[in-house]
Amino acid sequence: MKLWQYLIRRVMLIVPLLIGVSLITFTVSHLVPGDPARLAAGLHASPETVEAMRHRLGLDKPLPVQYYLYMMRLLHGDLGTSIMTRRPVIKDIMIRWPGTIELTTAAMSIIIILGIPLGVISATHRDKLIDHASRIFSLLGVSMPSFWLALILQLIFCKYLKIFPVGYRIDPAIGLRRITGFNVLDSLLTLNFPALVNSIWHMILPAFTLGFQGIATVQRLLRSNMLDSLTQDYVKLAKAKGMPERIVIYKHVLRNSMIPVVTVLALMFGGMLGGTFIIETIFSWQGLGRYGASAIINLDFPAIMGVTLIYAVIFAVANLVVDILYAYLDPRIRY
């Protein structure tokens, strides 16, 4: 099978995935106790107003009917109207998704840029001081909860050292014309360098917090994979051919050891999407995570559904990218 045939098949598989995800989210979110009509109408509204609101939101119909109507509208690109913002959910999402993608991409880059070299150094300097140091660092990484780390980092870097800003994606005083919604991309497109620096500056703390556990995971996994790979026969042959240490490590060992790491990176991406709910809220980051978190608090069904579906799509696409990368790394895998 050719690669593009495989791609088409995989993209088509996203459809049943979305149906499954929507069904589960729809059921679960409607089983949560609480009355969205009451929340939407306001705490002091009369029972009649609440009933009218319930009817307007379509919440008085049986669940299967509600689901059917929702899916019908979804086919037309209509995700419903948010109960809390009273705007179409699709519009809310369009405004916010670049922020989340920007944040997770930055976190992923930090994981790759720090995690892989740390893993290589640990493996090549096994049981030396630098190995112990990087293992302690990664132990801290896996054991620190991210909401706690976020608060501590804010305290140190924002309150006391005053190096980084506390929240938001960009300083509101800096005008940036919105083209794609990605601040970094927009500031590059408009050649607005103060905005570029400022938005990267805002991104560092939340992205680091989001990626910190990932750095640790990648470091530990790569270290153990490389140590295992170093004892393999093909390493012995490479040495017997007179290959310098550098080539043995970076060509023969690293490539073989990266295959499982790539899989974990994909899973981690899913975990990070979940993590954005917390991180975006703490850092007042305008993205889907923060939107989703407040949607859950306000029992805003259309918004919850919308965010979940978009996350499912992003996750599926990330997995697809990783699977293609996999085939590039491991020639034994062919589609």
Partner 1 sequence: MPEVLLRVKNLRVNFYTYAGVVKALDGVSFEIYKGEAFGLVGETGCGKSVTAASILRLVDKPGRIVDGEIIFEGEDLLKKSEREMREIRGSKIAIVFQDPMTYLNPVLTIGDQIAETIREHQDLTVEALEIERNEYHNTSAEKPSKKALREAVLRRVEEALKMVRMPDPRVVIDQYPHELSGGMRQRAMIAMAISCNPKFLILDEATTFLDVTIQRQILELVKDLKDRLGCTLMIITHDMGIIAETCDRVAVMYAGTIAECAETKRIFSKPLHPYTRGLLDAIPLPTEDVKVLKPIPGFVPNLINPPPGCRFHPRCPEAMEVCSRVKPELREVEPGHQVACHLYG
Interface residues toward partner 1, by CB under 8 A: 231-234, 236-244, 247, 251-252, 255-256, 259, 329-332
Total Cβ atoms within 10 A of residue 155: 11
Of the pair 73, 255, the CB lying nearest partner 1 is at 255
- CA-to-CA distance for 201 and 195, rounded, in angstroms? 10
DSSP single-letter state for residue 268: H
Structure token pair of residue 250: 């970076």
Of the pair 169, 252, the CB lying nearest partner 1 is at 252
Q: Containing H/E element for 320?
A: helix 301-329
Q: How far is the CB of 330 from partner 1 (least distance, A)?
A: 6
Q: How far is the CB of 328 from partner 1 (least distance, A)?
A: 10
Residue 8 contacts by C-beta under 8 Å, 6 or more apart in sequence?
Answer: none
Of the pair 162, 334, the CB lying nearest partner 1 is at 334
* Rg over CA atoms, the chain: 24
Of the pair 68, 234, the CB lying nearest partner 1 is at 234
81 strand-pairing partners:
88
Q: How far is the CB of 230 from partner 1 (least distance, A)?
A: 10
Total Cβ atoms within 10 A of residue 102: 21
Residue 242 contacts by C-beta under 8 Å, 6 or more apart in sequence?
Answer: none
Q: How far is the CB of 136 from partner 1 (least distance, A)?
A: 25
Q: How far is the CB of 237 from partner 1 (least distance, A)?
A: 5
Of the pair 144, 243, the CB lying nearest partner 1 is at 243
- Give a three-class secondary structure readout of 167-190: CCCCCCCCCCCCCCCCHHHHHHHC
Of the pair 55, 251, the CB lying nearest partner 1 is at 251
Q: How far is the CB of 331 from partner 1 (least distance, A)?
A: 4
